[in-house]
Amino acid sequence: MGVGGVNAGSVWAPQPNRVRLWTPGQVAEMTRDERGWWHPPQPPAPGEDYAFLLDDDDTPLPDPRSLWQPHGVHGPSRVYDHGRFRWSDGSWTGRALPGSVLYELHIGTFTPGRTFDAALERLGHLAGLGIDMVEVMPVNAFDGTAGWGYDGVAWGAVHEPYGGPDAFKRFVDACHARGLGVLLDVVYNHIGPSGAYLDRFGPYFAGRNIWGPALNVDGPGSDEVRRYVIDNALGWLRDFHLDGLRLDAVHAIGDRRAVHLLEELAAEVDALAAGLRRPLSLIAESDLNDPRLITSRDAGGYGLAAQWCDDLHHALHVALSGETRGYYADFAAPGALADTLRSAFFHAGTWSSFRGRSHGRPVDVHRTPGSRFVCYLSNHDQIGNRARGDRLPESVPPGLLACGAAIVLCSPYVPMIFMGEEWAASTPWQFFASFPDPGLAEAVRRGRRAEFAGHGWDDAAIPDPLSPRTVERSTLDWTELTAPRHRSMLELYRSLIALRHRHPELADPRLDRFTVESGPGQRWLVLHRGPLRLACNLSAEPVTIRLDRPAGTILLASAEACHRGPFLELPAESFALVTTGDASRHQAMEAGPAADVTAPAAGDGPGTPRPAGCPAPDIPDAGGPDDIPDAGGPDDREDRAAPGGGRRGVR
């Protein structure tokens, strides 16, 4: 059986007057039903190749709902029987998105082997890091061997160079065995440029967007097109045992129906989740800044589980790197990082200079939890769509990278790490493709150069997207983990994730209970996480911050930090996560390997404990309390002199 209960060998083709089924050595006439579906006298057998001949054209075309394209996107389809794979994840009960830490990876550059089976060898790394869910970039079939996957044309078939459908199932099965959920990035906003035969069968397309032909989801004949999308999504979740889908650029899905495709999809996925008795998550990528996508259906929304939050990324990127070109310009506004951390959307019905208009809608922080937003320091787009595909470590010092990681992993949002970020990988992640058609390949090459020429880049500085060397450069170098500076950053990420898992306060998604304090010019921030405080010094000078209550234990610090009473002293470009209030309670909770973590210094050897106590802050008699940055604490000179302690950590 195919997706949606349709036999392999049947096809929806309302436009042709004649459809024939091709199998090796045989061509059979098909009969049409009243819905425009054509059925063969005998369906092809499991493992058998097949294709369709439309009207009097003898060109074999692959099945639009193909589950297997072993000969590439232009070749015949092959019948794939899901029932023949032997799963071992019968005890898997799923993984909920709230409280999880995500890890985005691209199978073709995650390892030098570029396959699912090669990726299996690194699942221990992800489990040891503390990852909860792996988000795999698109694996649907596309033309060529290497590519990002967003130009797929056979949406239900797994890219054969990665290993095909059985290899993907082995990957999911192995992830579940290690306690890792698996999300898949899928693309329903356009079809790729090579192998897009859908429009020969029926009215699948309706105009174009910036990437290619857009799907007809609201015009004549769109019922079956919508079913095509929904059945594809359900097939991935049900037949490949996936735990959720990331929906690419949903703002490019043009749907004017009363019930939007996303709402219909969410309802069907919720029904499937109930039947499978495990949570299934739909995560949107959208630049609309519209909370309706993640508002429940009974409250008038679409009912998606979450969405990527680029505003949080942009605010962090500007604060850490100082880059303010293009769409980053607005995020250089005073207080942008603190404001965005508090409410997820910076553009919330406010002016967007990049768009030349007002943009977005406010998030109701009293009703919308932070777990409806995925936040990140980097992702495939924000690296790969840069001219050179350069990562943050190329322009941001280790101390600020550590601060950024701490803000993301101690925030009320769902944190996501892009592959290699956890060890400050030096490999770039660049745009690449491998279209065999010389004309298409050259068009992609010229388009990439023209895009960045308008920003002042010389052609010679733009990596050739069709060169195999670009793929090689973009592949993670796992030997970097032996270098102290990479190893120390990895240990920092492990410590932060361990603390997030150990302290429920750090994963608490309630935005109405989340407070962010900031100093002048955002030189420092303090995130209130229940009784815990994450203090970050983003400036190039040491700073003393007065917390709202006396500090207890420094759970993790990225450089030598100390405190007395409510005063916390941080070196330049560093952070500290501290307990406050009833410190003894938290010290008891900290029993175990994650207790009072001492992390190694980035670029140096392991850190060493620092004796408790630090010099009292220098408070000028005539200056008054305003001379000390205040994070909401009392004006109490005795508190300032109270004893404290400190730890060294990652720098």
Residues annotated as part of the active site: 248, 285
Contacts for 450 with CB less than 8 Å, ≥ 6 apart: none
Q: Report the alpha-carbon distance of residue 646 to residue 640 in Å, rounded.
A: 15
Residue (of 266, 362, 262) closest to 311 by Cα position: 362
Residue 206 in contact with residue 214, Cβ under 8 Å?
A: yes
Find the distance separating the first CA and the last CA of the chain, reported in whole Å.
56
Residue 605 in contact with residue 520, Cβ under 8 Å?
A: no
Residue 173 in contact with residue 87, Cβ under 8 Å?
A: yes
The per-residue DSSP string of 15-29 comes to S-S-EEEEETTEEEE
CA dihedral of residues 214, 217, 221, 226 (deg, nearest 10):
110
Contacts for 222 with CB less than 8 Å, ≥ 6 apart: 203, 206, 216
CB atoms within 10 A of CB 212: 16
Distances from the Cα of 620 to the Cαs of 25, 628, 632, 637, 643, in angstroms? 93, 10, 20, 12, 20
Residue 478 in contact with residue 122, Cβ under 8 Å?
A: yes
Residue 629 in contact with residue 544, Cβ under 8 Å?
A: yes
